[in-house]
Chains A and B, each alone.
Chain A
Amino acid sequence: MEDPAIATEDIARQFGDYWAVAGVDLSIASGEIYGFLGPNGAGKSTLVRMLCTLLRPTRGRGLVAGYDVAKQPELVRLQIGVALQDAALDDRQTGRELLDLQARLYGLRRHDRLARVAQVLTLVDIGDAIDRQIHTYSGGMKRRLDLAAALIHDPQILFLDEPTTGLDPESRAAVWTEVRALQRQRGTTIFLTTQYLEEADELADRVGIISRGRLVAEGTPEALKRTVGTDVIVAKVGEMPAAAVDAVRAVAGVEEVVCRGDELMVHAGDGAAAMSPVAVALHGSGTRVLSLTLRTPTLDDVFLQLTGAHLQADEANTEGAATDGHGGVTTSGADGHGPDGAGHVPAAATGARGDRR
């Protein structure tokens, strides 16, 4: 079997008393898109910064393209392209000047520089704006230029740290297309951090879910969703009488009921079959139902099941998360790794961000 493009063994990073990454083992194959999913403060960016040689691991080991990130950073840098969380650009250069400088620093000769700039511009469509100063670019264009700069030396491995955060849907879709094309056309290994479920779902061959600095689950999106195993009926209700939960729980085929704020999440093996009885049960318990939705499990459900918190929810809803006590989700020690060696983890580092979509 080919050596992994990226491998870590118990890699960890401590800031003061706080373990931002508390021991992560990864093995990512060459040519794979690996989605690293977690809320703000979960440790995604810290791990990326270790793997791209900007931070030293406090303990453990990281290998990128076979080189040790702590002992051989110069060799690692030749193999990787990096687009960090905020597009790191020089506003006073034109896009073309920035790409040319980047190519020079990677030792590309003039002929290769011109060819590579043309190639990445084919992949990352910026149009005529490439000869304008970067301060005139939109956020989406800056992101795409950032990606182009990361690709200028045709790296084997590409790190994308939340590449679509803050982008409008159209720009996001454009980045997705570019990432897919990179994998397909260049065979590039892509390590992608994201807090967007659909991004991981759409792009990643495999997804790692990180919570409180630890990897709590890993697999293909489909396999991860299968671990939840059931359809979900979401009932948005005006008020939440206690009788509603009991009434729904009594419906045949219902496996679990989670009450979250003004939502009742009903897990059922066959959601379509359970839909009508659930509606009847809610009506019978005197609950005013505002909407009733059936959906298949998402990675958010996986995250909820593993950590007791939603990946994408507003703060109030996350705090209001609760379980029905039927052997489902709990909010403490739910990461499956026992007590967190990280010790105290600031709430802000683990909770869902209020302004997330």
Chain B
Amino acid sequence: MTDVAVSRPTTRVQARPAGFVVDLFSVAQRAVRQIPREPASVIPALIVPIFFYVLNIGALSKVTGAAAHIDFKSFELPVAVVFAVTGVSRASALVTDIQNGYFDRLTITPVRRLPLLLGLMMADLALVMALAVPVLLVGLGLGVHFRTGVPGMALFVVLSGIWGLVFTGLPYAIALKTGNPGAVNASFVLFFPITFLSTTFVPKAALEGWLRTVATYNPMTYILAGLRALVSQSWSVPTFTAVGDAVLAVGAFGLVSISLALLALRGRVRRP
């Protein structure tokens, strides 16, 4: 063995596990910081729902509003917000990390594995809630009145944000499982049946046949109903019931989507 003459330093910093909370916030902070640096990934998520909200109101307000006896601007506002918050995630950035080896670099550190995913989701939650607000403001600007007042508005944003968060479980599961950007982009197709096979444009009572059956089992139906109740109804038992159903729907969907994402994370970080 070769003897090597070195002058050893007297002190070294002591590397140690940082702890779950520090890991979580460190990963989340990095993810949040990336968002304004990639405006192309955020701007469409803001413009598209506002565009369709205004378009739908212009095109369908008189017909649907009169036929269903509803204020179509209020009826469609939850749809616009759901459009804004659904499918927005850092899953593509995660795939980039996997492909360029940065994910490996992170896993060589003492970071706990769960924050590698939850940190991204935390950033997503902040982003989707931030996206919900301008859409909400457009609605207010067009004359939508929240009968549940400011608390209802706040709950509206939080519930929308949590929905957006649980939906990210699907693209994250795909990202972690495949490490393939194409597959992650393709996950957006899940958005369409979940969003449109529901009470997106008309109340459930107006749906017929198979679409009504599908809408009955689609969690989006209950999420929209809960959000609409916060807009159009005052605080009452039916409102609480509708919001409760929405929370249950979000929870059930989240149980599946987040479980899939966690399973994919476990597979990804398990050393082959």
Which residues of A does B touch, CB under 8 Å? 1, 4, 27, 29, 31-33, 52-56, 73-74, 77-80, 82, 84, 86, 88-90, 92-93, 97, 101-102, 104-108, 112, 115-116, 133, 149, 153-156, 183-187, 205-206, 220
Contacts and interface: CB of A to CB of B under 8 A. Distances in A.
Given A86-B100, A107-B17, A102 B4 contact: no
A77 B108 contact: yes
A185 B12 CA distance: 12
B1 to A, nearest CB: 5
Given A88-B101, A105-B110, A187 B8 contact: yes
B2 interface: yes
Contacts, number: 125
A102 B12 contact: no
A305 B34 CA distance: 52
| Most-contacted residue by chain A among B1, B15, B33 (CB, 10 A) | B15
Contacts of B2: 29, 32, 205-206, 220
A89 B96 CA distance: 10
A107 B110 CA distance: 8
B18 interface: yes
B22 A54 contact: no
A73 B271 contact: yes
B114 interface: no
Interface residues of B, number: 40
B113 to A, nearest CB: 11
Nearest to B23: A105
Nearest to A33: B4
B185 interface: no
A97 B34 CA distance: 11
Given A105-B18, A106-B109, A153-B15, 20 more contacts: A1-B1, A29-B1, A54-B104, A54-B107, A55-B271, A56-B271, A74-B110, A78-B16, A78-B110, A86-B100, A88-B102, A93-B30, A93-B33, A105-B26, A105-B109, A107-B17, A115-B13, A156-B12, A186-B9, A220-B2
Contact of B15 (A31, A88, A154): A154
**4 A-B pairs with the lowest CB-CB distances in the bound complex, closest first:** A88-B101, A107-B16, A153-B15, A107-B18
A337 B192 CA distance: 61
B108 A82 contact: yes
A92 B32 CA distance: 11
Contacts of A74: 17, 110
* Residue among B2, B17, B33 with max Cβ neighbours from chain A (10 Å): B2
A281 B24 CA distance: 74
A4 B2 CA distance: 11
A206 B253 CA distance: 58
B9 to A, nearest CB: 6
Contacts of B19: 107
Contact of B6 (A56, A107, A154, A183): A183
A226 to B, nearest CB: 15
22 contacts: A4-B1, A29-B1, A29-B2, A53-B271, A73-B271, A78-B16, A88-B105, A90-B102, A92-B37, A92-B93, A93-B34, A101-B30, A102-B109, A105-B23, A107-B17, A108-B13, A116-B13, A153-B13, A184-B6, A185-B7, A187-B6, A205-B2
Contact of B105 (A79, A108, A149, A183): A149
Contacts of B1: 1, 4, 27, 29, 32
B111 interface: yes
B101 A105 contact: no
B272 interface: yes
B208 interface: no
Contacts of B255: none
A37 to B, nearest CB: 16
Nearest to B100: A88
Interface string B118-138: 000000000000000000000
A73 B107 CA distance: 11
A154 B12 CA distance: 6
A322 B108 CA distance: 44
A97 B272 CA distance: 30
A245 to B, nearest CB: 39
B15 A92 contact: no
